[in-house]
Amino acid sequence: MPHILHMDASARPGIAGTDHHGSHSRQLSHHFVSQWQSRRACDTVTYRDIGQHPPSFISHDWIASAFTPEAQRKPWMKEALKESDQLVDELIASDILVIGTPLYNFGMPAALKAWVDQIIRAERTVGIDRNNPLDPYIPGLTDRERHAVILTARGGVNMAPGQAMAHMNHLEPNLVSALGFIGITRIHTIAIEGQEIGGDVLAQSIAQARQNVERLVRELQAAMQDMPTPEPV
C-alpha cells in the first residue's frame, strides 16, 4: 500500500481558485492527492506545510552533530538532530513524495531549501565510501523504488527544459540533483506558468497542468497496482 508524503512550500497559505491570492502550486499538489485518494482511499498520506512552518536552517551544532558517529553523540547532539531525524523518517517511510512549490527568484523557496538541507544526511540518506575518494557518495534510499512528483508554479513562461528561458529556472534541476543524490530518481514534473501574465495564458496553463496531474495519477497507480489496497472492514 503506497504511502504519500505531501509537502507544500508556498508562502501563500491559501489555494488558488478558492482563496484570494491563493497558491497555484498548492492547487496542483492538493489536486494530485485528492485525485489519488479518490481512486485509492486506503493509501495513507503524511502532510507537511513547510511554507507556513519552515524547517530550521542548519547550524554549527547541526553540522557537528550530523558528522559525529551516532554512537559518539552527546545528548545535545541528539537534540540538535531531532527535527532532521523526524523529516528523514517521514521521507524514508514514503513511496511517493509530492512537493508543491513556487519558483522564487529563479530557484526554490528558502523553506524548501531548509528541508533539503535537513534530509541530506550522511549515514542516513547518503553513505560515504572513504575508500573511493573519487566517487565516495552512495545513495541511501535504494531499498525500494520511490517516486517524486514536483508540482511547480512560476510567473514566467517557456522555462521548461529545452525552452527559451530554461536557463533561468534553477528549481526543478536543483531538486532533481538533490533527490537523485539520495536515491530518488523516478521524478515527475508538472508546472503552471504565466502567473505574472495572467489572462488566457495562465488559465490555459492551469487547465493543462491539472490534466497532466490527473494523467500522472492514473499512470502511477497503474504502475503500482501490484501494491495491494486493503479491503474495507
Check: CB of residue 150 under 8 Å from CB of residue 128.
Answer: no
Nearest-CA neighbor of 173 among 116, 91, 217? Answer: 116
Q: Which strands form 147-153's sheet, in the order they lie side by side? A: 44-49, 3-8, 96-102, 147-153, 186-192
Q: Is 25 annotated as a binding residue?
A: yes
Q: Is 65 annotated as a binding residue?
A: no
| Gap between the Cα atoms of 12 and 19, Å rounded | 10
Q: Is 84 annotated as a binding residue?
A: no
Q: Which residues pair with 58 in a beta bridge?
A: none
| Gap between the Cα atoms of 109 and 128, Å rounded | 28
- Return left, alpha or beta for 193; rule: phi > 0 is left, psi -120 to 50 is alpha, else beta: beta
Q: Is 23 annotated as a binding residue?
A: yes
| Gap between the Cα atoms of 75 and 73, Å rounded | 7
- Return left, alpha or beta for 156; rule: phi > 0 is left, psi -120 to 50 is alpha, else beta: beta
Check: CB of residue 113 under 8 Å from CB of residue 21.
Answer: no
Binding residues for FMN: 10, 23-25
Binding residues: 10, 23-25
